[in-house]
Amino acid sequence: MKFNDKDKNDILAAKLNEQAEAQTAVDTTAASEEAYSLNDDRRVKVLSPGAMVAKRFFRNRIAVVGLVILAAMFLFSFLGGVISPYEEDQLFYTETIQKKEYAGAVRNNDFRFLASGDAKFDSAIQAQVVLAVTTGQDAVTYRDTTYHVNREGEDFYSVTTDGQATLVGIGYKDVVTSSVEGQKLPFDLVFATLKAYTNDEDAFELGGEQYTIAEGGVVEKGGEEVAFVSRYVINPISPDIFLSRDFQEQLVIALESGADKFTFTDENGESEYFIDYKPDVKNWVVRQETATRTYDRYAAPSAKHWLGTDRNGMDMLTRLMYGGRVSLVIGFIVELISLIIGVILGGLAGYFGKWVDFLIMRIVDIFYCIPSTPIIIILGAAMDTMGVDPQIRMLYLMLILGFLGWPGMARLVRGQILGLREQEFMVATEASGLRVSRRIFKHLVPNVIPQLIVSCTMGIGSTILIEATLSFLGLGVKFPFASWGNIINDVNNTFVLQNYWFIWIPAGICILLTVLAFNLVGDGLRDAFDPKMKR
Amino acid sequence: MSNTNQNDLRENQAIPTVDGEDYLLEVKNLVKYFPIKGGFFGRTVGQVKAVDGVSFHIKRGTTMGLVGESGCGKSTIGRTILRLHDKTSGQVLFNGQDIFSLSSSELRKLRPKLQIIFQDPYSSLSPRLPVGEIIGEAVREHNIVPAAEFDDYITDIMKQCGLQEFHKDRYPHEFSGGQRQRICIARALALKPEFILCDEPVSALDVSIQAQIINLLRELQKNFGLTYLFISHDLSVVEHISDTVGVMYLGNMVEFAETEKIFDHPLHPYTQALFSAIPVPDPNYKMDRIVLEGSIPSPANPPAGCKFHTRCSKCMEVCQYAAPHWKEVEPGHFCACHLYNDAQEQAEAEQAIPAKAPAADGKKA
């Protein structure tokens, strides 16, 4: 580095200028500087005890985690319910496909008989005919009349008398039914159809008309269906179902081909039909697949229901949000009730001592003797029988839990105040003639508040647990209101436990996290309020 | 008595004088027993005779030192004078007015006149109030100054006590022991008291701070014409600050005199023993200590006769049976000891000795 003289001079001049400016700046701000000088009061930041507590609290990482969890839970519960598109007790439905029994089919193995015209062909003769067919005879005699049994085709016989002259009737196993509902087919047509069908012919002529037998046994005359022949007898499962001709044809085709399902379209649309063969009764059961509107129960998590649905078909996530609201509100109100009663009674006992203390502490002892769990269970059962409205029931629950919870708080406050009352600063307030109210509320209460805050924070956690337990047992918050406890109550068998994790795991996690967070925050506050903690 | 406020007060109240003297506080035969509850029904089964008939008086603007062993009833006297405890019997006259005859509302009005400074500057300040509030709340309560002057008044008092104005917003935990004691003094002083009970105000502080506080108290006394009752174990401090000194033993006052007199020639054997224990900061000085044997008897069951006879080096037979009279042995020098009996008193005292064979071992018990 090398400067010539001019540069050096410039630098020097600039430096001097700077110093001069700085000096004038100092002079002009001298007055204000006095206010900002490094006096003791300016240098040390003054912290109130509250600010100190906050500072110590926020240094405790675990407690801050607890606080964050709590904040999240509050947002989830109180804001979530507002944001959620669903209502607390909104029911969801789903279309499910159910197989309902629709029709029955049986392969006909009994002879059926049809008399020709007015011929006498009663059941006694029919029995003789069956006997003849099975024993292979071609004639039977009944009441001095000889009946000839002529084989016309497969399982199709004609019965004649008078030396083959007169046709009495026919015996057959394949059933011919008219295509027109309720219409009786003429004997000739039945005879001709069966003759053709049993001999595997696909056409015949009758009375100058040409008939064809299509696949599946449809008898057509000039392209028009007139009858249907089949070995199968098909009946609807209940009288209100009408089996159409088409359906029966379809079914027979399916049966003959050995298929186990077929589709058929009727006026209600296309449905699938399932065929089950039951070997023990040798018949087929046809089941129709029908769409049914049902509650969307235990639906798995999806885009529509992020945590699925519960037993009643309500959205789990929404229930969780509303349940959190109920659980937290109950926790707070119960704790508030015990706080108010506890502080007033404990404060009175501690400050006035003597017989007031004795009386209140004996009441506390009595309350400690009350077995709270049986009482709550009995009251829950009583409210069940009285049919108390779920909303009012929730109110009662808070009152009961609050009334059972105050003795602990009263003892805490009394103990604290007894200790503080003997402190010299309380003697000093007496010596300076302060009013009693001021001594209590300005000197005693502020010194008890830390313990109260800690106790309440922890207390809310345990109250939530108690509420969850009661609701789980069905004694606390009742349907349709949700609470984390009664959400878990859905899990009342191992099947649900194993298969529907989304019912109980989220609610369990909510309870766990909230109670844990309350305990963490409570611990953090306790440490923060302890002035000996210098972390 | 330079302070104008104090002078105003004196004009307002008729000051009774006894023997032409201006006594601010007179304690007459004050007794305070604490009951001992026992048994299933909590009956009183005994009494702790914490203060058993004590009389003294303090002139306006002076300091009386009260010394004695731990547990001899010094603090109880102090607190009974302020009516923080109820008395058992006796009288406490403040400006000629019996404090125990006041109703509670009258007492509350009188409270600012009688203040107290505690031994422990840590427990005597409410931890959740800022210092300005601690000092000022009772000022506001009693309307000591108009609301407009309140802030300036508190600042002024704090400065008098060696505190800065900005300390007002701070909390007690931010102060050292000495500063806290100054806050306590400021709190007492802010109420414009006439009488301050200093209940061992320096024993919790280190020696350098002790001197500061003592000097502060003296300075304030000079400025405001305060009257102190100064309770302490520390005899050198008492000698330094007091105009008169009372010595207590087991609930009784055994000697009372002006400071010079009592330190020059203590009359009572207990006082002699006590004063012989004052350390002298000279390693070559051979201390001639009178060592008391045993410990202080239980105030619940004090010895008969002179309470000190169990430990007294000059114990006589009468001491075991007759309690000595409280008498003025020399002008202004009171003492309760049989050593200073005149012939008549001696004869009276000896009547208390049970009629039995004259004890062979005589004086020593």
The DSSP code sequence of B30-86 is: EEEEEEEEETTTTEEEEEEEEEEEEEEEEETT-EEEEEE-TTSSHHHHHHHHTTSS-
Tokens of B58: 């303090």
pLDDT of A332 reads 92
Tokens of B251: 């609930």
Three-class DSSP category at B222: helix
Q: Quick check: B25 pLDDT over 80?
A: yes
Three-class DSSP category at A496: helix
The whole-angstrom separation of Cα A488 and Cα B147 is 62
Closest CA to B269 of B284, B285, B247: B247
Q: How many CB pairs under 8 A join A and B?
A: 83
In sign, the C-alpha dihedral spanning B72, B74, B79, B81 is: positive
ipTM above 0.85, yes or no: no
A376 CB neighbour count, 10 Å cutoff: 20
Q: Is A446 on the interface with B (CB under 8 A)?
A: yes
Q: Is B191 on the interface with A (CB under 8 A)?
A: yes
Provide mean pLDDT across the span B332-338.
Answer: 86
Nearest chain B alpha carbon to A436: B108
**Per-residue DSSP letters for B196-213?**
EEEESTTTTS-HHHHHHH
The whole-angstrom separation of Cα A327 and Cα A334 is 11
The whole-angstrom separation of Cα B351 and Cα A41 is 72
Q: Which pLDDT tens digit goes with each residue over B107-157?
A: 888 888 888 988 888 888 888 888 888 888 888 888 888 888 888 888 888
Q: Is A519 on the interface with B (CB under 8 A)?
A: no
The answer to whether B237 touches B210, Cβ cutoff 8 Å, is: yes
Nearest chain B alpha carbon to A430: B84
Three-class DSSP category at B352: coil
* Residue B236, burial from CB neighbour count under 10 angstroms (0-12, 13-18, 19+): middle
- Parallel, antiparallel or unpaired: strands A209-213 and A156-161: unpaired
Strand partners, A270: A265
CA atoms within 13 Å, Cβ hemisphere of A420: 27
Nearest chain B alpha carbon to A444: B126
- Which of B86, B122, B128 is the best substitution to test chain A (most A C-beta atoms within 10 A)? B128
The whole-angstrom separation of Cα B326 and Cα B306 is 11
Contact B109 A433 (CB under 8 A): yes
pLDDT of B362 reads 45
- What Å distances lie between residue B213 and A339, A492, B168, B236, B318, CA to CA? 44, 75, 20, 14, 44
The whole-angstrom separation of Cα A497 and Cα A503 is 8
Q: Quick check: B11 pLDDT over 80?
A: no
The whole-angstrom separation of Cα B100 and Cα A253 is 120
What element of type H or E holds A114? strand A112-115
Q: Scanning the structure block, which residue is given the tokens 């298929």?
A: A259
Under-50 pLDDT residues of chain A: 30-38, 42-43, 535
Strand partners, A294: A94
Strand partners, A273: A262, A288
Percent of chain B with pLDDT over 90: 2
pLDDT of A45 reads 59
Closest CA to A297 of A100, A99, A490, A506: A490
What element of type H or E holds B330? strand B327-330
- Which of A43, A424, A534 is the best substitution to test chain B (most B C-beta atoms within 10 A)? A424
Q: Scanning the structure block, which residue is given the tokens 């026919």?
A: A170
The answer to whether A346 touches A413, Cβ cutoff 8 Å, is: yes
The answer to whether A201 touches A213, Cβ cutoff 8 Å, is: yes
CA gyration radius, chain A: 48
Chain A residue numbers with beta carbons less than 8 Å from the beta carbon of B109 are: 433
A496 CB neighbour count, 10 Å cutoff: 16
Tokens of A447: 């010194």
pLDDT of A75 reads 92
- What Å distances lie between residue A426 and A432, A488, B112, B324, CA to CA? 10, 51, 15, 39
Q: Scanning the structure block, which residue is given the tokens 């909104």?
A: A90
Closest CA to A84 of A312, A324, A295, A294: A324
Three-class DSSP category at A120: coil
What element of type H or E holds B12? helix B4-12
Walk across the sheet containing A232-236 and list its strands: A232-236, A93-107, A283-295, A269-278, A261-266
Q: Scanning the structure block, which residue is given the tokens 């003025």?
A: B328
Nearest to A446 among B128, B137, B142 (CB): B128
Chain B residue numbers with beta carbons less than 8 Å from the beta carbon of A433 are: 107-112, 138, 141-142
Chain B residue numbers with beta carbons less than 8 Å from the beta carbon of A424 are: 118, 120, 123-124
The answer to whether A142 touches A197, Cβ cutoff 8 Å, is: no
- What Å distances lie between residue A84 and A71, A249, A319, A488, B206, CA to CA? 18, 53, 10, 21, 67
Residue partners of A313: CB distance under 8 A and separation at least 6? A91, A92, A93, A94, A295, A296, A297, A299
| Geometric angle at alpha carbon A346, from A341 and A347, rounded to 5° | 105
Q: Quick check: B192 pLDDT over 70?
A: yes
Q: Scanning the structure block, which residue is given the tokens 């004050």?
A: B30
Chain B residue numbers with beta carbons less than 8 Å from the beta carbon of A46 are: 169-170, 174
Q: How close does chain B come to A413, measured CA to CA in Å? A: 17
A330 CB neighbour count, 10 Å cutoff: 28
- Which of B105, B126, B134, B196 is the best substitution to test chain A (most A C-beta atoms within 10 A)? B126
The answer to whether A90 touches A315, Cβ cutoff 8 Å, is: yes
Lowest mean pLDDT among B22-26, B344-348, B356-360: B356-360
Strand partners, A266: A269
In terms of phi and psi (left: phi > 0; alpha: psi -120 to 50; beta: otherwise), the region of A106 is beta
The whole-angstrom separation of Cα B324 and Cα A397 is 73
The answer to whether A369 touches A382, Cβ cutoff 8 Å, is: no
Contact A433 B129 (CB under 8 A): no
- What Å distances lie between residue B143 and A458, B4, B103, CA to CA? 43, 18, 20
pLDDT of B363 reads 45
How far is CA A388 from its chain centroid? 25
The whole-angstrom separation of Cα A133 and Cα A157 is 8
Three-class DSSP category at B353: coil
